[in-house]
Structure 1
Amino acid sequence: MSTTSLTAKYRPQRFADVAGQDAIKRILSRAAAEDKIAPAYLFSGTRGVGKTTLARVLAKALNCESAPTAEPCNVCSQCRQITAGVSPDVIEIDAATHGKVEDARKLKEDVGYAPLQSRYKVFIIDEAHMLSTAAFNALLKTLEEPPARVTFILATTEAHKFPATIISRCQHFLFKRLAQPELEVHLAGVLDREAIHYESTAVSLIARRGAGSVRDSMSLLGQVLALGGAELTEADARGVLGLAGQDIFFGLIEAIHAQDGPAVVELLRQVLEKGLDIGFFLRELAGMWRNLFLLRQAGQKGLSVVDLPAEDSGLWLDWAGKFDAAHIHACWQMTLEGQRRVLTSLEPALSLELLLLNMAYLPNLLPLQNLASCSVPPERSAGSAPGGAPASGTSPRSPAGPGTPYGAQSHGGHPQGSSRPAPRRFAPSPSTPAPGASTGTAAPPPHGQGGYAARQSPSAAGHAAVAEHPAPPQSATAAPSGPRNWDGFKRFAMKSGEISGLKQARGEFVPDPEPGQVRILCTNAFHRSQLSHPDKLRQLDALAAQYFGPGVAVRVDTAEPDTGRMSGETLSAYIDSRPEVRQAVSDFDAEIIERKPR
């Protein structure tokens, strides 16, 4: 028996015969019975769920000799012509090959003619999303106001490709995938009419493999029946369709429980050698973990919601009790998230092997009892040399304890054990600690030659706030070796790193009253906003404390009253001093002709 003949032989010819889609069948049947037909219908849904079948049944119900009627009689000449596909008033169009605007214009001409021998002229456009944009536009007015006794039925698997103007002119029905019980009933009915004995597990397997599509399920059934056996068995179905049996899954769960990596690899080799469908294997694996989780949590009560044969339910219940619930849940989630990665990987076999081995060794790879706060093993000091010895100028720190959370950052904001150096920090004096600094932080070292402070190494600076035995504080009254004025402070600050806006600023150091104040004068409001940002102020406070001593305050003002606009001289100086302007002049060999304020 060929697949095509089986599918065509049992195509439903009445609303009641169509599997699933109960709500849509009721609506269409009532509309046909009351002769209240819409100008256009849009049937959308995945493949093989009855869109074209219901379109043909509706066409027969509208044109049946006993119409208006809720069901076609399938015996009159009109019903028989439509079933055979030879009715002149029921036109089926494949939009994939007739999707151009010329075809739409020809269709508009045909719409103008009255039905030849039927009550309604029905146009069924299959795969309607393949129509071009111009064709859709050409049909807009026709779909909205077709002539009397004309209706359109558009069937598609991709309704999102339809223009909103088309959808608004149609009654849109969304066809759902069939549930597995509905598919099983439909397949069992076909086998009964064929007088073929079958195992219920085989029918369930084919229905599950069909994934909600009647046509796919019928094709798979015809493929298995092509063996020509006297009955349909689960073993035949698995052998023909390349599906793993229960023995594979029982062996796999036993190997995972025993953390037997070689056994997992051997089972996977058997799966690959048999040519089994990896995609369906992953689907069944996810279903296995789902069943185990429900049985582990609900016990005997879970048997009512899991799809397991009665003879195997006891074994699965026993296995569920041997695993920790967290382990089962993690494996279930890993399977669902790993399906796409395995199927799209360049090495799907290796990707699947990694997934299964991760499941087997999961308790060793990750402490399941501490999922909320995973611990990391102690690491070497961030300030130690590659060989393990402490770096020069630093003292070893104590390793992170077991309670240190994974990814916790310290010593400059980088993960523990990272080889990346901590960012440069300007440590304030002990008497005026910077925000967030420890009160045990050592005072800044004395300034070196040329008024420039000798900086700590990144490792030493990073450990200053957390050292178990901090060095004794140095004198906080050490004066800078450079001049105690604005120019000396500005040179010192610029050597410490680029501070946006400081180069263009003027300023002065006011020593009275003690300990003094650094007053920074900005050219305009924008300039002042740059230097008065809280982060910039903290940095300037730290620099002032290093250069002038603790307690020196920093104040940011404008050099002249803020009118919101710069003077011409100030604007020219400001623009000419901008590095991006100088770079643009250099790159394009340009010349600044005029400078205007905004």
Structure 2
Amino acid sequence: MSSLTAKYRPRRFAEVAGQDAVKAILSRASATGKIAPAYMFSGTRGVGKTTIARIFAKALNCEKAPAAEPCNECRLCRQANAGNAVDIIEIDAASHGGVGDVRALKEDVGYAPLEGRFKVFIIDEAHMLSTAAFNALLKTLEEPPARVTFILASTEAHKFPATILSRCQHYVFKMLPQAELGAHLEKILQAEGLEYEPGAVRIIARRGAGSVRDSISLLGQALAYSAGALVESEVRACLGLAGQEVFFALMEAIAGRDLPLLSRTLRGVLDQGLDLGFFLRELSGCWRNMFLLRQAGEAIVPELGLPAEEAAQWAEWAGRFTPAHIHACWQMTLDGQQRVIKSLEPAQALELLLLNLACLPDLLPLAALGGGSASRPQGGAAPQRGPQGGASPAAADGAPRTPPVSQPVSQSAPQAASHSAGPAAAPQPPVPQAPVAPVAEQRVAPATQAPERPAAPAPQSEPQSASSMAEAPAAYAAPASGPRSWEGFLEFVAGKNGNGFVTGLSQARGEFCGGVLTLTCHNETHSGMMDKGDNFLRLQRLVMEYFGPESSVAFTCVDREPVKTDGTISREMQEHPAVQLVREAFECRDPALVYPRGR
């Protein structure tokens, strides 16, 4: 089974999997005899670039040409299939990419075809040619002799000089979809007379990632491992891939926040030596399928390419999560793939990612992911939002909402700090919005009459990304009752995370009056550092926590002077007393008077 790739290499355009547009163009060119001086075939590995180049060269030199397909029966076609056709020269630029090799090739170009109609030069991995070799090839590509054509095949077309690309007809080969790869593998299995499970073929096609050659190589590896029939469990064991039971165990642990089960499942994945890159690809595919099934229902099943039984299982799992949770997990898994693979500790990076997925509602309530802006009116409740800032579907379909994370000022500080932000906590009744009283009245008002803060999540100016949810604090304790002043605000901020929690705050002067905290900065740079980005969001949130939910922030500068123009600076310099003394001492006159304008 080790020679499946060579055994089933296509010999006609019709046998090539995919690339329908390229096949149609080259077949028509072969039938009409309208051949370009040079062609460029680019695309990922194993998608048929060299194969189609050989078929095209064979069709041009077939004894029955001009024809759309080679006959594979004449003497010239048989020589081409055996790889010893004298008029089809194939060069590997990885080992013959020097300028000397190109000069030898140019000498060979000058000779007419010996047996066929065309002399075809196929340069594989052409991007490996040196700069001098490219320069030596330029004129030959532009004006080759009659009956000569070049075919350059490469996986990295961006490395070619623009002068080379402009002289070629460039065709980009696409990766094959999973369905086409699976159909091609099934044809090979049927030709071999082997039994197989459709799930096993789907796994190999997904693992092949659009490459026909890689997929056939994996098929040969799996057949060498199996006892005859192609079984899904044996394919996963052979290729080091996780089974469905592993992903179901992960979903059970994430849905129930069962960290011991999550740790045991991850340890099993690592002990089996599974491919972590493909494991994360499949995990992100699970979240994708669950999200689409949760939102579109059974109507999306044909588009997922899953068996009915497997789709029903994932639909059942999707019902155990809110759409916002599924969407956030999907995004975090996609964002974490490269971090896990490139990490110096990939096992710990994967463990951190899975723990974040399981503890996501505890790290930051899903209702606060969308967050309204700071300017939103405080009288109405903000709608629950998903991780991208849009309205969460959980609010529309009756899914349980995460309770608010803040407590009224009437509770003591230890009680507010110990309040749980997880969904297991009992929802609190909404607190009516009370009018904001002056500072002096707030100092003496009883806590049972008008709470200073409504029970609402801390406002945010813009939605947070799902990847930063674990870094955001869950809740803040309410400040002690008493007068609100600038000195008290600095102590309140210092108690949060030190004076550096808001960059530049300790260097400013503040005054709170009429519900507005006015910060006096040293200059424009100081002001710009505080009133932009995350720094301003933290400052705004702290001001609303300390001074009240309807408080705002304003900025002013000490040295807000107008910018002087060049003319103003020159005039002030000429009028300076020191300059006047120097001019009198040396009897200098104004140059404009000595040399009038226009001379």
Q: Same fold, TM exceeding 0.5?
A: yes
Describe the shift of the 1:90–1:555 C-alpha distance in structure 2 as closer, same or farther (beyond 3 A): closer
> What is the 5 A alignment of 1:113-262?
113-227=111-225, 229-262=227-260
In the aligned structure 2, how far is the partner of 1:245 from the partner of 1:178?
24
| AA matched with 2:163 | T
The alignment partner of 1:43 has SS state of: strand
* Contact 1:120–1:149 (8 Å) recurs in 2: yes
1:190-216 CA-to-partner distances (Å, cap 9, x unmatched) read 111111111111111101100000000
Matched ranges for 1:298-337 at <5 A: 298-337=296-335
Which amino acid is the alignment partner of residue 417 of structure 1? K
The equivalent of 1:417 in structure 2 is 496
Whole-angstrom distance in 1 between the partners of 2:201 and 2:242 = 15
In structure 1, how many angstroms separate the alpha carbons of the residues matched to 2:241 and 2:317?
22
Q: CA deviation at 1:77?
A: 0.8
Aligned-partner Cα distance in 2 for 1:427–1:306:
58
1:566 aligns with 2:564: no
Q: For the structure 1 residues 291 and 403, does the alpha-carbon distance in structure 2 shift closer, same or farther, using more than 3 Å as the test?
A: closer
Give me the whole-angstrom Cα distance separating, in 2, the residues matched to 1:366 and 1:24. Answer: 51
For the aligned residue pairs, the C-alpha RMSD in angstroms reads 3.8
Task: Return closer, same or farther for 1:105/1:316 CA change in 2, 3 Å cut-off.
Answer: same
In structure 1, give the amino acid aligned to 2:518.
Answer: A
Gaps of 5+ in 2: 373-403, 410-416, 418-439, 444-451, 463-475, 477-485, 520-541, 549-554, 581-590, 592-599
Deviation at 1:300? 1.5
**Cα contact 2:408–2:455 (8 A) shared by 1:** no
Offset at 1:220? Answer: 0.2
- Equivalent pair of 1:376/1:406 in contact (CA under 8 Å): no
In structure 2, distance between residues paired with 1:302 and 1:215:
31
User: Which residue number in structure 2 is paired with residue 529 of structure 1?
Assistant: none
> Structure 2 CA distance, aligned partners of 1:556 and 1:188?
76
**Cα distance, 1:564 vs structure 2:** 5.1
**1:66 counterpart residue number:** 64
Q: 1:36 maps to which residue?
A: 34
Matched residue, 1:78: 76
Output the CA distance in 2 between the equivalents of 1:30 and 1:187.
Answer: 28
CA contact (8 A) 2:10 2:51 kept: yes
Contact 1:24–1:173, Cα closer than 8 Å, also in 2: yes
3-state SS of 1:232 partner: coil
- The answer as to whether partners of 1:376 and 1:405 remain within 8 angstroms in 2 is no
CA distance in 2, matches of 1:557, 1:207: 69
Distance 1:255-1:557 versus aligned 2 partners, 3 A rule: closer
Question: Does the Cα contact within 8 Å between 1:407 and 1:415 map onto a contact in 2?
Answer: no
Instruction: Kindly state the Cα deviation for residue 403 of structure 1 after the two structures are TM-superposed.
Output: 4.0
Letter in 1 for 2:97: G
- Partner amino acid, structure 1, of 2:263: V
Structure 1 counterpart SS, 2:45: coil
Task: Determine if the alignment matches structure 1 residue 404 to structure 2 residue 404.
Answer: no
1:123 partner SS: strand
> How far, CA to CA, are the matches of 2:282 and 2:461 in structure 1?
35
CA distance in 1: counterparts of 2:334 and 2:350, whole angstroms: 12
Provide the residue aligned with 1:494 in structure 2: none
Write out aligned runs for 1:466-505 (5 A).
none
Residue type of the alignment partner of 1:316: W
Q: Give the direction of change, closer, same or farther, for the CA distance of 1:327–1:569 in structure 2 (3 Å limit).
A: same
Aligned equivalent of 1:106: 104
* Structure 2 partner of 1:437: 518
Equivalents in 1 of 2:273, 2:93: separation in Å? 37
Amino acid paired to 1:423:
S
Pair 1:539 & 2:558 matched: yes
2:499–2:506 Cα contact (<8 Å) kept: no
Distance in 2 of aligned mates of 1:45 and 1:415:
57
Larger Rg: 1
Who is 1:384 aligned against?
none
| 1:566–1:322 CA distance, 2 compared to 1 (3 A) | same
Deviation (angstroms), 1:70: 0.1
Counterpart contact for 2:226–2:234, Cα < 8 Å: no
Mapped partners of 1:400, 1:204: distance in 2: 54
| Mapping of residues 258-407 of structure 1, within 5 Å | 258-373=256-371, 402-405=456-459
1:316-353 CA-to-partner distances (Å, cap 9, x unmatched) read 21111121000110110011000001111111111111
**By how many angstroms is 1:415 displaced?**
9.7
Alpha-carbon separation, structure 2, partners of 1:572 and 1:118: 92
Counterpart CA distance in 2 for 1:58 and 1:184 is 26
What one-letter code is carried by the residue in structure 2 that aligns with 1:566? M
How many percent identity over aligned positions? Answer: 58
Unaligned 5+ segments in structure 1 are 381-387, 389-394, 439-461, 469-534, 542-553, 574-596
> In 2, are the aligned partners of 1:426 and 1:539 still within 8 Å (CA)?
no
Q: Is the 8 A contact 2:63 2:76 kept in 1?
A: yes
Q: How many residues align?
A: 456
TM-score (normalised: structure 2): 0.69
Q: Is the 8 A contact 1:259 1:361 kept in 2?
A: yes
Q: 1:406 to 1:106 in 2, by over 3 A?
A: same
CA distance in 1 between partners of 2:176 and 2:517 (Å): 61
Q: Equivalent residue of 1:91, what SS?
A: strand
User: 2:303 and 2:408 mapped to 1: Cα distance?
Assistant: 48
* Cα distance change of structure 1 residues 147 and 254 upon mapping to structure 2, 3 Å threshold: same
User: Residues 276 and 466 of structure 1: is their aligned pair in 2 closer, same or farther, counting only changes over 3 Å?
Assistant: closer
